[in-house]
Amino acid sequence: MNQIRNRTRNQTGNQTRNRTRCAPFFTAVFFALLLGAALSAGAQAAANGAPAPGKPAPDFTFTAPDGRTVKLSDYRGKPLALHFWATWCGPCIRELPLMANLTASKSGDLVTLAVNCSETDREVTSFLGSRKLSLNVVMDRDGQISRLYNIFAIPQTFMIDGEGIIRSIKLGAYSQRELSRDISSLLNP
């Protein structure tokens, strides 16, 4: 009877040790596959003409808050931060005060356009008013601008130089330090 117990204990111990030895391997394989998929998606997006650093920013037309029809290309000659966001996005909510401060502090040197993804004027106006934020908002009601820029997650920000060339793309919320760094490199190439 003791031999059976000892054999069972040894088998269980060996199984546990084998699982422990294999865990780092499977974790590494998982992350390698994940990284490969991300790189493949990025390469495919670039091959499909998706916006990328070094490429011209896709032009689009929008209605400004004062009712004027404006094209992105109308801002040529000025560096521009094109920021995609929504009122329901937690990271966007934390980042918007940085964008609003950027808009206020760099208004002579940099244009900031905050593209709201598929929400109503009322939702956006209420949201910004309740937080006392002032932004140059572009309403992307039908998602056309988001599709043009291949937006699959927000927040996402495109730094575009005065010649209309995308210099950097940030997926996720900026920290104050990251935003300052990217703005500085955009304004002082």
Q: Is residue 55 part of a domain?
A: no
Measured CA angle at 17 (ends 13, 18), to 5 deg:
115
Quick one: the chain helix, strand, coil %, rounded to 5? 50, 20, 30
pLDDT score of 5 more than 80: no
**Residues 96 and 44 both lie in one domain:** no
Domain region containing 151: 61-187
- Whether residue 53 lies inside any domain: the answer is no
Number of domains in the chain: 2
In terms of C-beta density within 10 A (0-12 exposed, 13-18 middle, 19 or more buried), how is residue 187 classed? middle
Lowest mean pLDDT of 39-48, 79-88, 112-121, 129-138, name the range.
39-48
For residues 35 and 66, membership in a common domain is answered with no
- Does one domain contain both 99 and 68? yes
Confidence of residue 39 (pLDDT cuts 50, 70, 90): very low
Residue 171 covered by a domain: yes
State the DSSP code for 170. E
pLDDT of residue 96: 94
Say how far apart CA 53 and CA 186 lie, in whole Å. Answer: 12
Q: Specify the CATH number for the domain of residue 84.
A: 3.40.30.10
> Is-contact 92 86, C-beta < 8 A?
yes
23 lies in the same domain as 76: no
Pairing of strands 111-117, 137-140: parallel
Task: Specify if 56 maps to a domain.
Answer: no
In a domain, 89, yes or no: yes
Residues 161-181 have pLDDT tens digits of 999 999 999 999 999 999 999
Q: What is the pLDDT of residue 18?
A: 53
Smallest CA-to-CA distance from 188 within 106, 127, 130, 128 is with: 106
| 73 shares its domain with 28 | no
- Same domain (yes/no): 73, 164: yes
In this structure, are 101 and 183 located in the same domain?
Answer: yes
Same domain, 163 and 128: yes
- Token pair, residue 61, equals 């037309």
| Whether residue 134 is found in the same domain as residue 80 | yes
Question: Do 155 and 69 sit in the same domain of this protein?
Answer: yes
Clarify whether residues 183 and 119 are in a common domain.
yes
In three-state secondary structure terms, 32 is helix
User: Is residue 122 classed exposed, middle or buried when 0-12, 13-18 and 19+ CB atoms within 10 A define those classes?
Assistant: exposed
CB environment 38-56: b (16+ within 10 A), e (fewer)? eeeeeeeeeeeebbeeeee
Residue 6 sits in the same domain as residue 91: no
